[in-house]
Amino acid sequence: MSGARAAAFLLAGVIVGGVSGGAVATYLVSSSAPPTNAPSSTLPPAQTGGVLPVASAVPGAQASEDVVGVVQDLLPAVVTVINYLSSGQAQSSGSGLVVDASRGYVVTNNHVVEDVRDTNAGASFDVVFSDNRKVSAKLVGRDPQTDVAVLQVQAQNLKAATLGNSDDAPVGASVVAIGSPLGEFQNTVTHGVLSAKGRRVAETQDIFLEDLLQTDAAINEGNSGGPLIWVATHQVIGVNTLVASNATGLGFAISSNTVRTIADELVKNGKVVRGFIGIQYQQLSPRQAAQLGLPSGTAGIVITQVVPSSPAQTAGLRPNDIIAKVNDQTLDAEHPLLSVMVKFRPGDKVTLTFIRDSKQQTVDLTLGQPQQ
């Protein structure tokens, strides 16, 4: 697994956990049995020719059947991803979904394909389909900053899921999650609602996952990379990624709109290239702000070095300048520069608000290509 994760959240890609529910099943069986001392002769005779009454329609039955239809439709597109060490030993597993049947592209989470010891990728991968076919997969690309990765398998009668528009799904919509919790309970289906949209959760100290969907559909370890499906449309609106460790029914999925954008770039380039400012920096501390006579609560980053011939140098930025904002976004502990720059690409224009000699200024800057 990559890096130190936020303490309050668990990425759903590790093989750990437990199972419960036996007591409930036992109770249902025992409570349905007739008393042993009840003589059968006391039972009333069958009515209307021995035909039992027909049950009336059960409220919500149609919704249940809709869920069954979703599962039957999309289960063949959901896979289990097994991540191996160079020794050939399986080190972790998660879930994924086929998004392109003709070319064999499978979307999953970056942390599913990472080496558990560092931030490198695993040595090799297998994909297991719902019919238990196991095939090898190659890594096309991965993006740690959005936790999206793409694998490719040899196309062979594959079923692909459709990535819907996550913006269209309303809060309260019925959703289904499918995956392989704990790495062994393949093809597990859970059902819930879309609880909220636009959530922002820290994955590491420097990486915040943006535009997350929140759901109360059960998401457990090993569900990472599996789909969150909008029941009404049979379309995938999210890729499950993490759960809150200290709460029930608090799971999160990367929005399908983010997944589509990142996956397209990974397929085209093998990586996501983000816009380059050309600075080295450190976070502005409260002590530094006080020493510089800045107002209490001033946030930002202090430039320690400007890369020669970079956009920053062209724009006239200098060491000791304090960048407070990128466009309208303040750079603070919850919005570090690395996270803010996730959505920008080379050629994009941004406005930087910076402080020099205690005076606030702005400068427009065209982002460049990262230097090798």
CATH number of the domain that residue 289 is part of = 2.30.42.10
* One domain for residues 153 and 186: yes
* One domain for residues 153 and 197: yes
Question: Which of the pair, 52 or 122, is modelled with greater confidence?
Answer: 122
What is the average pLDDT across 98-116? 95
Number of domains the chain contains: 2
pLDDT in tens, 265-305: 999 999 999 999 999 999 999 999 998 889 988 999 999 99
Residues in the chain: 372
Binned at pLDDT 50, 70 and 90, residue 9 comes out as low
At residue 204, the pLDDT reads: 77
* One domain for residues 267 and 283: no
* One domain for residues 232 and 147: yes
At residue 243, the pLDDT reads: 87
Between CA 365 and CA 104 the distance in angstroms is 40
At residue 101, the pLDDT reads: 95
**Using CA of residue 173, residue 63, residue 190, residue 257, what is the dihedral sign?**
negative
Q: Token pair for residue 206?
A: 């420097």
From 267, 272, 211, 208, select the one nearest 239 (Cα to Cα). 211
Between CA 56 and CA 219 the distance in angstroms is 34
CATH number of the domain that residue 181 is part of = 2.40.10.120
Phi, psi of 330 (to 5 degrees): -70, 140
* One domain for residues 98 and 138: yes
Binned at pLDDT 50, 70 and 90, residue 34 comes out as very low
Binned at pLDDT 50, 70 and 90, residue 11 comes out as low
Q: What is the mean pLDDT of the chain?
A: 84
Between CA 173 and CA 236 the distance in angstroms is 13
Residue 346 domain flag? yes
Is 352:255 a contact under the CB 8 Å cutoff?
Answer: no
Residue 34 domain flag? no
* One domain for residues 108 and 190: yes
21-30, 227-236, 352-361: range with lowest mean pLDDT: 21-30
Residue 137 domain flag? yes
At residue 349, the pLDDT reads: 97
Domain end call among 257, 272, 287: 272
* One domain for residues 256 and 111: yes
Question: Which of the pair, 316 or 9, is modelled with greater confidence?
Answer: 316
Binned at pLDDT 50, 70 and 90, residue 13 comes out as low
Binned at pLDDT 50, 70 and 90, residue 56 comes out as low
Q: Is 25 helix (H, G, I), strand (E, B) or coil?
A: helix
Q: Is 263 helix (H, G, I), strand (E, B) or coil?
A: helix
At residue 334, the pLDDT reads: 80
Phi, psi of 73 (to 5 degrees): -75, -45
**Given the structure tokens 């890729």, which residue do they identify?**
239
Query: Catalytic: which of 93, 111, 126, 195?
Result: 111
Domain coverage including residue 354: 279-366
pTM of the model: 0.77
Question: Which residues, 6+ apart, have CB-to-CB distance to 6 below 8 Å?
Answer: 201, 202, 203, 204
Domain end call among 272, 295, 315: 272
Residue 290 domain flag? yes
Residue 53 domain flag? no
Residue 6 domain flag? yes
At residue 63, the pLDDT reads: 57
* One domain for residues 194 and 209: yes
Is 275:341 a contact under the CB 8 Å cutoff?
Answer: yes
* One domain for residues 214 and 86: yes
Residue 40 domain flag? no
What is the average pLDDT across 112-120? 91
Query: Catalytic: which of 2, 92, 166, 224?
Result: 224
- The single-letter code of the amino acid at 92 is S
Active site residue 147: yes
**For the chain, how far is it from start to end, CA to CA, in angstroms?**
26
* One domain for residues 265 and 296: no
- The single-letter code of the amino acid at 260 is R
* One domain for residues 216 and 314: no
pLDDT in tens, 212-244: 999 999 988 888 999 999 999 999 999 999 988
Query: Catalytic: which of 143, 147, 234, 339?
Result: 147
52-66, 154-168, 255-269, 346-360: range with lowest mean pLDDT: 52-66
Residue 56 domain flag? no
Active site residue 131: no
* One domain for residues 268 and 294: no
What is the average pLDDT across 47-53? 55
Domain end call among 251, 272, 293: 272
